[in-house]
Structure 1
Amino acid sequence: MPLALTVMCAAGLFIAGGVARGMQFFNGLVHRVAPNLALPMVPPPELPPVRLDTAGFASWAMLDRRTGIMAGSTNLDATSDTMSLVKVWLAADFLHRNETPDQGSLDRITIMIRDSNNAAADAFYERNGGQVGIERMIETCGLTDSAPYAQPWWSNTTVSARDVARLGACIADGRAAGPTWTGWLLDQMRGVRGPGDFGPRTAFPLDEAAHIAIKNGWLLRAEDRLWHMSCLAVNDEWSIGVLLRYPSELGFEHGTQLCQSVAAQLMPVLTDH
C-alpha cells in the first residue's frame, strides 16, 4: 500500500501519485505545460498507471507534441544530472551557430551522439562557451528546472524529467539546431549504437524504433555509489524523459529496463494515433 498519496493542484497543473516502500509508484494525470492558442483545447487522455520498482530516485515525463500536454510522475520537476544525454544539446547548439561546419566537426558530432564519445563532448562544450552554452539551452528550449554545473563539467548539467521531454521536443522541432541541421541531427540520434542504445525506444518493434531519436546518459558515480541514468526518446508525436538514481548493486541493466518500462506501460497512449 502506498505510504503517501499527493495531489497537487495549481494553475494548469494536476498531478497525482504515490510512493511505496522499496519502490516508486507513479500514476500521472496530465497538465498543459503552457497556454498555446495554436493547439486545440482537448480533454486530458486517460493514462495507464506507470509503476517503477526501484530503490532510490525515479522520475518520468511525457510531452504530447500534438497537443502540448505534459504527463508524468508527481516529482516530474525533481532534478538530477544529465551525464551524456546533454551531448545532444552540445551538438545542436554548435550546429545552430555554425551553419556551414567542416566535415571534421560533423564527424566528431557523429561519434559524440552515436557512440557517446566523451572527448568530442569536451571539445564542443568548450567551443560552445561552456556554461554559457548550457544557459542557451535553458533559454532556447524554455526549460524551468535546469541549470549548468558550477564547475566546467557538461555531465553534471542539472535537468528534470519534464525538461528532458521539453529538450527532446526542442531538438525535434528545429529550435535547437535550426532548420539546416535538425534532420541530420535527428538521424544521428536514430543511429545511436552500442552501450547507449537503450531506453524507451527498445519497447517498440524494430520498424517503429527506427523512427525514434534517442540520447541517454549513464554513470556509476564514485561520490555516492549510485547509478545515475537519464533517458530521452522523441518522435513526431511525443517526447519522453526519464531520470534515475539507484544503488550500484542493482546494476546497469536495472536502469535500462526501467527506462524501457516507462514506454512499455504508456504504450496505449503512445500508439493512439
Structure 2
Amino acid sequence: MSPPRPHIAAAASLALLLTGCTFSAVPTAMSSPVSSAPAPATGSGAVSVPSEEPSEEPTVDLDAKLAAALRPAAGDASLSAAVLDTESGATAAYGQRGYDTASIVKVDILATLLLQAQDAGRRLTTEEKTYATAMIEHSDNASATALWNTIGGAKGLNAGGQRLGLTGTTGGEGGEWGLTQTTARDQLTLLMAVFGTGSRAGGESPLSAASRSYLTGLMGRVEAGQQWGVSAAGSSCALKNGWLPRSATSLWDINSIGRVTANGRTYLIAVLSDGHTTMAAGISKVEDAARAAVTALAGTG
C-alpha cells in the first residue's frame, strides 16, 4: 500500500484564516519569583495572638475543567487534548482513546532519526536534512516516506518512541506512517522531549540540546498555509499539523501539536480529532480546543 495522503489538492483551495501567531524557534519560559510575607511584629505590652496556619488553596481538577470546556465543542466529532503550562508544571488532559496521527507523526519520525544519529555519533547527512526540512516545514509526504524507511519503519518508530517516553503510540503497518496510532497524552510527552520542557517519564529528554534546537527550529518555520491549529491559542509558535481524509468514511482526521506563548506563559498543547465533515470544520474545532486548553490552565501558578 502507498503511504496515506494527508494533503490532497482540494485541501489547498480551502481559505484558511491564519492567526497572528509569530513563529519563533526559541522557547520562552520564565520562573516566578517566590516571596514570603514578614511575620507580624510583637513587643512588650502587646497581646500575643497565635498565628494562623496558612489556608490551603482548594484543589482544582484541571482534567475536569478541560473536559467541561471541550465536551460541548466536539459536537459530532471525536476530540482529545493535553496541555502543559511549562512554568507551573500544571497539566490537563481530556480523552484517552487513540487517533490516527496523519502528518503529526513527522515530528516523531525526525525525533527518532535524531536519536539514531546521536547513537551513531554522527550528524544528519545533507540528504537527510533536505528531507527533514521538506517534511516538517512543508509537510512533504515523499520526504516523510524516505525518512520513515531510513529509521526502519514502524519498528524503528516504536523503538524511538519507547525512549521518548511514549506508551500509547504504535507505528502504522505496511508503510502507512500516517495511520500510526497515538494519544494526546503521548503527544504531550513527545513535545516535552522535543522542547526539553517539563517533566516526562524517564527524566530528562534523550534528545540532545542540538537535536532539540534543530527540530524545534523547523517547527517554528512551517509554511504560512499550515500555521493553523494550536497557534490559535497564543503566539511565538512552533508546531506541526496533520490532516487526513479517510476514504472509508469521507470524514477528516485533524490534529495539531506544538508550543505557544499566551499571556506571558508558555504552553505545550496537543489536540487530536477525527470524524469531521470537512477539513475547515475540523480546524475550527481544533483551534477552539487549543484555546480552551490554555484557558483551563490559566491561573495555575
| Residue in 1 that maps onto 2:46 | none
Query: Is 1:93–1:176's contact at 8 Å kept on the other side of the alignment?
Result: no
The range that moved more, 89-98 or 232-241, is: 232-241
Residues 92 and 223 of structure 1, relative CA distance in 2, 3 Å threshold: same
Partner of residue 152, structure 1: 175
| 1:185 aligned onto 2:204 | no
Quick one: structure 1 residues 198 and 270, their matched pair in 2 at CA, closer, same or farther if it must change by over 3 Å? farther
Q: Are the counterparts in 2 of residues 57 and 244 from structure 1 also a CA contact under 8 Å?
A: yes
Gaps of 5+ in 2: 1-56, 197-203
8 Å CA contact 1:137, 1:176 repeated in 2: no
Residue identity matched to 1:246? G
TM-score by length of 1: 0.73
Matches within 5 A, 1:191-230: 191-204=221-234, 209=235, 211-230=236-255
* 2:80 counterpart residue number: 59
The structure that is strand-richer by fraction is 1
CA contact (8 A) 2:115 2:160 kept: no
1:237-263: CA deviations, max 9, x gaps? 432111111243xx2111111121123
Tell me which of the two structures has the higher relative contact order, counting C-alpha pairs closer than 8 angstroms and 6 or more residues apart. Answer: 2
Percentage identity across aligned positions? 24
Computing the radius of gyration over CA atoms, which structure comes out larger, 1 or 2? 2
Point out where structure 1 has 5 or more consecutive residues left out of the alignment: 1-41
The structural deviation recorded for 1:269 is 5.3
How far apart in 2 are the matches of 1:234 and 1:262? 14
- Verify the 8 A CA contact 1:93 1:177 in the aligned structure 2: no
Give TM-score, length-normalised by structure 2.
Answer: 0.67
Paired letter, 1:231: S
The answer to whether 1:126 aligns with 2:149 is yes
**Partners of 1:113 and 1:132 in 2: CA distance:** 21
Going from structure 1 to structure 2, the CA distance change for 1:264 and 1:148 (only over 3 Å counts) comes to same
**1:238 correspondence with 2:264:** no
How far 1:65 sits from its partner (Å)? 3.6
Q: Distance in 1 between matches of 2:217 and 2:166?
A: 24
